[in-house]
Structure 1
Amino acid sequence: MQTPVAFIIFKRPHTTEKVFEAIRQAKPPKLFVIADAARPERPGEAEKCEATRAIIERVDWNCEVIKNYSDTNLGCGKRVSSGINWVFSNVEEAIILEDDCVPHPTFFPFCEELLDKYRYDSRVASISGSNYQFGHRRTNDSYYFSIYNHCWGWASWRRAWQHFDIDMKLWPQIQAEGYLNDILRDYKAVKYWSNLFQSVFENPSDGIWDFQWTFACWIQSSLGIIPKTNLISNIGFGLESTHFTSKKVSPYINMPIEAMQFPLKHPPFMVSNVNADNFTQKTLFKQTLLQVIKQRIKKIIKAN
């Protein structure tokens, strides 16, 4: 393996250890470690952060470990985005894993081969390890192209990440000129993403970064690569999670992973898979009635 890996950690040693072991088996030559600091008002969190960082000291292969540990708590949005900024200021490309995203061993060679193949092709912005099609086979090739860029285990290049802007300064113009209609071509999807982007634009420090990344890819007309099989299992749902603390059973919890077959079979064309994207929009990115009611109440309160 030749590609650097960026590892984002915080305060969960039990999940971090499992992802670290997968990285250890892959033996990347460089390991960039991004860590946030504990929140002073959370008792015991400093000890958890310390225990999590201690796992990184177990690197026992020929590897340059480069650390970016924050002394103060930046929050998920700023810590992750600033950390990825730092990674791409040092290298041209990287594989990125968070502390709860356990990869299949074939995830690494899958990303590495495609990072090389599309290195200079600006039409592609990201390579995902996640597949949320729940058994629907969308292609006979090893992967397909999508307008979505799932970030539970992914890879990208400096040339793509340079367009990331956590403040989404171009959103007002994109919104005013109706460009989401050209990207999504479905009024329900346009409404969903318009509301979401507006919310992120108004509250850029709310611990979000991946929606800004989606926005950056869309306004560059970039595509994401999605593997035909799921290569990432998210084990981080629960009370220790930053965003997914609900006890409700989710189909995205502990999704099974399946080996990618090599040699890879590359698609002979570069067009987003509409059927797969429509399925993703209707399942992963769906707006519930409760969310609609909350938004309406928020608008009423704001108007008054």
Structure 2
Amino acid sequence: MVKPMNKETTFAPIILFVYNRPEHTRRTVTSLLKNPQAEMSDLFVFSDAAKDKSVEETVRQVREYIRQISGFKTVTIYERDSNWGLANSVIDGVTRICNEFGKVVVLEDDLQVSPHFLAYMNTGLDKYEHDEQVMQIAGYMFPVDIQSNEDALFLPLTSSWGWATWQNSWEKFDKTASSFNTIKNNPDLKKQFNLDGRYPYFKMLEAQKKAKVDSWAIRWYLSVFIKNGLVLYPRKSLVENSGFDGSGVNCVVSGFDDTPIDATFEVKTFPANSVTSPFFDELIKKLPKPKFSIKAFLSRLIKPFKV
């Protein structure tokens, strides 16, 4: 039985990471404010500093906008004095807020959310708080049709597009990817890590170890994978990524990952048991297999994983 939200519910704080896209940031905040729970939620905005002079003006515009944000319980802004990069900023921000509040909802400036996003996030955080196997709540769902009777399901795969976690889960974050050799030396584990060989996630992990990419998300996936953790996903996506319009620093335009939101869809039923959904294998098979080089693949997924 899912515990309903009531007046005593403590809503999770929301982190929003922003950089140099004022219009994207505005759309993200506007979509959040359509959630009734927004006015009861604390918002923390982490604004990274410009990497070079070419983005100083757009960073300034973003900061001008975020200083005017209202409609949340509180708004706290952290303006970086130097460019941290998204990976370092996310690791620092999530750690800081988790340590203070014990849980957090995380968004970036290219995501728009459903009006039911925060209800789902907070209910999921509340329901599975004491289940150590459940390590993350995901708001995004891949563009596949899942014929499930439940509105949410568990997958052994993390998400970086609109998500939530708890302090006790985030404490397991493997910042140095110390489990790299465990997977490298086990062909079966490597195949499993690569979603039955369909996606080269291990290559991305390898690139991280060689400092060719700086990705918090591939390290987070490793952290959850090595602990046999599970992630709760909605049956239909509650998050839409607008970062594939060419505005991102390393964005490659693609319609695949841009799953439209069905604003009428609400997650009302949750899994009673924390086990991998029987639809997981079907979902993997429905995902298109990449038909490009690992270099192109890394470039294409730079937004989900160079974070």
Identify the TM-score tier after normalising by the shorter chain. 0.7 to 0.9
Aligned to 1:128: 138
- Give the AA of the match of 1:156: T
The structure 1 residue matched to 2:262, chosen from 254, 257, 263, is 257
The separation in 2 between residues aligned to 1:283 and 1:82, in whole angstroms, is 32
**Given the alignment of the two structures, is residue 103 of structure 1 paired with residue 123 of structure 2, yes or no?**
no
The separation in 1 between residues aligned to 2:211 and 2:33, in whole angstroms, is 37
Q: In 2 relative to 1, CA 152–281 (structure 1 residues): closer, same or farther, beyond 3 Å?
A: farther
- Give the AA of the match of 2:205: F
CA contact (8 A) 2:139 2:234 kept: yes
Deviation at 1:269, TM superposition (A): 2.8
TM-score (norm 1): 0.84
The separation in 1 between residues aligned to 2:265 and 2:121, in whole angstroms, is 11
The structure 1 residue matched to 2:223, chosen from 216, 224, 241, is 216
Q: In 2 relative to 1, CA 163–79 (structure 1 residues): closer, same or farther, beyond 3 Å?
A: same
**Root mean square deviation of aligned Cα:** 2.7
Deviation at 1:183, TM superposition (A): 4.5
Deviation at 1:14, TM superposition (A): 0.4
Q: In 2 relative to 1, CA 46–146 (structure 1 residues): closer, same or farther, beyond 3 Å?
A: same
Q: In 2 relative to 1, CA 186–62 (structure 1 residues): closer, same or farther, beyond 3 Å?
A: closer
Moved more, 84-93 or 214-223: 84-93
Moved more, 108-117 or 264-273: 264-273
Map residues 242-253 of structure 1 onto 2, 5 A cutoff: 242-244=249-251, 246-247=252-253, 249-253=254-258
Instruction: State the structure with more CA Rg.
Output: 1
* SS of equivalent to 1:47: helix
Deviation at 1:56, TM superposition (A): 1.9
**Given the alignment of the two structures, is residue 118 of structure 1 paired with residue 122 of structure 2, yes or no?**
no
Percent pairwise identity: 21
TM-score (norm 2): 0.83
* SS of equivalent to 1:237: helix
**Given the alignment of the two structures, is residue 12 of structure 1 paired with residue 17 of structure 2, yes or no?**
no
The separation in 1 between residues aligned to 2:242 and 2:297, in whole angstroms, is 29
- Give the AA of the match of 1:80: V
CA contact (8 A) 1:133 1:279 kept: no
CA contact (8 A) 1:3 1:28 kept: no
- Give the AA of the match of 1:56: I
5+ residue gaps, structure 1, are: 296-304
5+ residue gaps, structure 2, are: 1-9, 299-307
**Given the alignment of the two structures, is residue 34 of structure 1 paired with residue 46 of structure 2, yes or no?**
yes
* SS of equivalent to 1:113: helix
Aligned to 1:51: 61
The separation in 2 between residues aligned to 1:15 and 1:154, in whole angstroms, is 18
Aligned to 1:192: 200
- Give the AA of the match of 2:208: V
- Give the AA of the match of 1:50: R
Map residues 1-304 of structure 1 onto 2, 5 A cutoff: 2-25=11-34, 26-40=38-52, 42-43=53-54, 45-61=55-71, 63-134=73-144, 136-178=145-187, 180-181=189-190, 183-184=192-193, 188-189=197-198, 192-203=200-211, 206-244=213-251, 246-247=252-253, 249-253=254-258, 255-261=260-266, 264-277=268-281, 279-280=283-284, 283=287, 286-291=289-294
The separation in 2 between residues aligned to 1:96 and 1:186, in whole angstroms, is 25
